[in-house]
Amino acid sequence: MFYSRVGENYDSRSSTRSATGRPITTLTVGNTEVLAGYLAELLNCPTYKLEAAAPYPESYDETVARNVRELNEDARPVISNPLTSLEGYSTVLIGCPVWAQGAPRIIRTFIDANDFRGITVAPFVTYAVSGIGSVPREYQQACRGADRITDGLAINGENVRGSLDQAADWLGRMGLL
């Protein structure tokens, strides 16, 4: 399960700038979706992509502003394609970009709607500068009844295309490969 956003994304190597001067590149497939694809390929399993009922803007600056508002409001953005049962799963990989050092609020919408009793939660993230941030701690606090929260996988978004070996190593350390 993952959330990923297309459009303008932070890219320190880019000469293109957002309206506020941040270096950006435009993605047609979000970084977290790329990583989720690698994990699904390695595990030979399906993925589930969360979609926001009110999609995040294409603009990087506008997405940052929306994220700040959602954090300040402790928002739970509506998911247009909710998955409300984890029945039958013993391990759930939850992926997202790291925004303001944490998970986007749409991830909390998903977590709040589900019962994690008896499930191992494995966080994977893509990030610009903050690494895995507070994501594992957020999952630890929010995933009601989870057996455990594993060590997470954090891949810099600028390097995600080419991280298949890192994904395989992470899955192997968890005993999933």
- Which run of H or E residues covers position 135? helix 135-142
Average pLDDT, the chain: 96
Domain ranges of the chain: 7-169
Please compute the mean of the pLDDT values over residues 11-15 and round it to a whole number.
95
- Which band of pLDDT confidence, cut at 50, 70 and 90, is reported for residue 149? very high
Considering the entire predicted model, what is its pTM? 0.95
Picking from 72, 146, 138, the residue whose alpha carbon sits closest to that of residue 107 is 138
- Which band of pLDDT confidence, cut at 50, 70 and 90, is reported for residue 144? confident
Residue range 7-169 forms a domain whose CATH class is alpha beta
Going by their DSSP bridges, the two strands 24-27 and 7-10 should be labelled as: antiparallel
